[in-house]
Amino acid sequence: MSKIKITFPDGNTQEYDNGITGNEIAKRISTGLHRDALAIEVNGEVWDLSRKIEKDAPVKILKWQDAGGKHAYWHSSAHLMAEAVEILFPGTKFGIGPAIDEGFYYDLDLGSHTLSNDDLVKIEQKMIELAKQNSAFTREERSWEDAVSYFRTKNDPYKIELLEELKGQKISLYHHGNFTDLCSGPHISSTGRIKAIKLLSVAGAYWRGSEKNKMLQRIYGITFPTQKELDEYIFRIEEAKKRDHRKLGKELDLFVFHDIAPGAPFWLPKGMIMFRELEKFLREELDHNGYQEISTPILVKKELWEQSGHWEHYKENMFYFDYEEMTFSLKPMNCPESTYVYRHRIRSYKDLPLRYSEIGRLHRNEISGALGGMFRVRQITMDDAHIYCRPDQILEEINSLINLVNRFYSIFGLKPEFNLSTKPDGGMGDPKLWDEAEDGLKKALESNNIKYILKPKDGAFYGPKIDVQIKDAIGREWQIATIQLDFVMLPERFELEYIAEDGSRKRPVAIHRAIFGSFERFMGIITEHFAGSFPTWLAPIQVVVLPITDAQNEYAQKVYNKLHSEEVRVELDGRNEKVNYKIREWETKKVPYMLIVGEKEKTTDNVSVRQHKKGDLGVESLDEFVKRIVKEIKEKSLSS
């Protein structure tokens, strides 16, 4: 039998018989690895452990801790749920059932039956029963004609529609128990690996995301290898409900949403204070890093987007209209227009790098069902920048951006994690330029000793990118900043040039980057991360002064004036209410500091300090407190 060479993540290689499976590799390495293995990554793709490997390949055995392992586990759980639904509701038609970032869903056509919470409990119980049968997931390849015949027999129009797009290809089906599904995989070895199950909710979902299609019912669920992990997840979900930015935004007078403008927030005065603080902080950081701020039009002709490639690749996400025999669009991104700033005069190699920042309003045509508070909006305020540089400056610029990301997120107590996303199917431009761009990003990450996750085929259509993720206070992951290297869209399509040292004309390289991602989404994230208890420098109201009786009103005004003169955002609550009532009320407003002033404080020029969530900090001189809070604000401390 012929041999193949398997390369492991540590660089070691081993020869195996051609056709060896991931199961066999894991078993030969160790009993523990074989026990924990859920799937295998082969050449960057996640496979079943039972699939035969027939070519030399780099591989990684995937466990629960790996994203690919979770994906296979949750994808298998979606199939298990579908089997339970088919048993309980015969005649159900099945749409798609993918794994998602946390858990899975399946889109179902149950005819006239509307699923209830009681139905979810029944399905969940049936899933537990079926999991205990420990049925193996088996992959079968059929001809396209055989697959169509099978799903016609089952009278499943959704699967037949999906098959129409796969005409002429080999089709893979997966079987377990008495259930069969059209699926490319991957799956775990058997249903018995699925231990702890929770179905979370039902929602309406148009078939294939189009409002022109039938509304199906989508069941969301999640599973874990242990009940402890499921319990911890449910706790996080409950905690997330308390932290919901839509709820806190309204309670704290930050922002609200109205049906009159779906997908766009109304920023309230306190929210605008925070918006401006974030804007100020960002501009200070960019000024220190040599950026020049620009502003480009919101409304432009479609010719711009045709030239950039967005009209071909992104048109369905754009708002556009005809006027005076021309087609105009609200810009969905700033990138192409920055080229007009670059081209407004001849550039020399000495001019580069040029770092153009733009805090611009964008509009994207997200479908109604995808909108979700600040996390998915139609009107976006992007903290964008485009850096034009020479090829020999790429590494230095990417290093600078990585340092900027680390510095920025450390202010919020967030630790960034990095992913490298490579060329997607249909990516524009010369493959050699893609290889060069991907290699440049790899070198930047590795030169900074940054561990990263490779995400094959997940780049933008014009270039590879570094995506940055963070985990919030309750362990949820958020994709935020992005750094994209572009040899194609802006430089080539807009024919950008600079005069090289030898007098020749050369193409610059463009680097697209965003640090917040967007102001709206970032505000949503940090509102939930801090549960509305923002650091003092960012809080809309930083201090409230509470006189105990009217006799201290004059001194309370003095305290207020002293803080206000130091540009501290302060309020004076002189209402004729008991001080304990006022303390409780301001505590719910999550103001970082309360200063209680009674007769004793008045006569000694002191203040009694209470800190949000920490309570009474004791008595302090007014001058010392002012000095301390001004320092806390200036240093953007997280101490509150």
Query: pTM of the entire structure?
Result: 0.77
Distance CA 286, CA 77 (A): 46
The 3-state DSSP class for residue 228 equals helix
Contact 594, 583 (CB under 8 A): yes
List beta partners, residue 139.
Answer: 174
Distance CA 264, CA 256 (A): 9
The 3-state DSSP class for residue 426 equals coil
Task: List phi, psi (to 5°) of 524.
Answer: -60, -45
Transcribe 546-590 into DSSP letters: EESSGGGHHHHHHHHHHHHHTT--EEE---SS-HHHHHHHHHHTT
Q: Residue 1's pLDDT is what?
A: 66
Reported as a single tens digit per residue, the pLDDT across 508-552 is 999 999 998 899 999 999 999 999 999 999 999 999 999 999 999
Cis peptide before 186 (omega within 30 of 0): yes
Distance CA 56, CA 20 (A): 11
Other CB atoms within a 10 A radius of the CB of residue 290 amount to 11
Task: List phi, psi (to 5°) of 333.
Answer: -155, 165
Vertex 525: Cα angle to 532 and 280 (nearest 5):
85
First to last CA, the chain: 67
Distance CA 310, CA 303 (A): 10
Helix ranges (H only) for 392-488 are 394-410, 431-447
The alpha carbon torsion through 39, 45, 50, 53 (nearest 10 deg) reads -130
Other CB atoms within a 10 A radius of the CB of residue 364 amount to 18
Q: Hey, what amino acid is at 140?
A: E
Other CB atoms within a 10 A radius of the CB of residue 480 amount to 22
Contact 158, 109 (CB under 8 A): yes
Residues of the chain with pLDDT under 70: 1, 639-640
Distance CA 2, CA 23 (A): 19
Beta strand spans in 164-257 (E): 171-176, 179-182, 196-206, 215-224, 255-256
**What kind and span of H or E run contains 356?**
strand 354-363
Structural domains of the chain ordered from first start: 3-63 (3.10.20.30), 68-241 (3.30.980.10), 270-295+332-525 (3.30.930.10), 543-634 (3.40.50.800)
Q: Residue 534's pLDDT is what?
A: 96
Distance CA 56, CA 231 (A): 42
Tokens of 365: 């045509």
Contact 25, 61 (CB under 8 A): yes
Contact 242, 127 (CB under 8 A): no
